[in-house]
Amino acid sequence: MKHGPLRRGLYAITDNQLIPAGELADRASRAIAGGATLIQYRNKPLSAVVHMDEIAALAVSCRRRGVPLIINDDIELAAEVGAAGVHLGRDDSDIESAREHLGKQAIIGISCYNDLLRAREAVRRGADYVAFGRFYPSQSKPEAALADPAVLKQASMELACPIVAIGGITPANGLALIEAGASLLAAIHGVFGIPDIESAARRYAELFMDG
């Protein structure tokens, strides 16, 4: 399956601790209805149960809505469910392995924390987007080192790929990161930790309307 350029906007990341069993596809669909342009399936901790039927249903739902589904960390899972691609961190598989397993059309994203050199190298090796963060206090990764918004500006000037900002981002603080150079804002609790997921997603999406 071919994928066009990633669209600016909300990158909604699921969390198995926030989404009850059986509701994954439905809740992601609500985020898409609110304007999410990219969805990531994230299943932490690694010991958590993986419900293959749910993830496959999520992949189908995303394809029907024209929104790419990215799988966090797991290349094999991404291939098995026919996801659009995979997101890799510092301790995950390398870009070359992901490309070999998922094909040249797959979307491969790389966590770069506050490291512009890592981002440059990731793009050189074929990453389709790079992610920086955390920028604010984060419920998902409270121990992660803070990133400087200046890295977004420098990355957006140097790198010919989408720039993702992640970590404690809300509709109230996200605009500054867009202005600094982020083309996508990633959120977990700010979307899936809110009772009205569609409205929560829309508040993020609206930040991009004037940009």
The catalytic residue among 8, 42, 99, 203 is 42
CA distances from 197 to 25, 56, 165, 192, 204 (A): 13, 21, 20, 6, 11
| 86 beta partners | 71, 108
Q: Could you tell me the two tokens for 34?
A: 């609110």
Phi/psi at 185 (5° precision): -110, 120
| 69 beta partners | 39
Q: Confirm whether 42 is a catalytic residue.
A: yes
Q: Where are the alpha helices (DSSP H) in the chain?
A: 24-33, 52-64, 75-81, 95-102, 116-124, 150-158, 174-180, 189-192, 197-205
Q: Confirm whether 7 is a catalytic residue.
A: no
CA distances from 80 to 23, 56, 172 (A): 20, 8, 37
Q: Confirm whether 104 is a catalytic residue.
A: no
The catalytic residue among 8, 30, 61, 111 is 111
Residue 118 corresponds to which amino acid? R
Q: 150: how many CB neighbours lie within 10 A of its CB?
A: 12
The catalytic residue among 44, 63, 120, 141 is 141
CA distances from 208 to 7, 60, 126 (A): 11, 27, 27
Contact 130, 119 (CB under 8 A): yes
Which active-site residues does the annotation give? 42, 111, 141
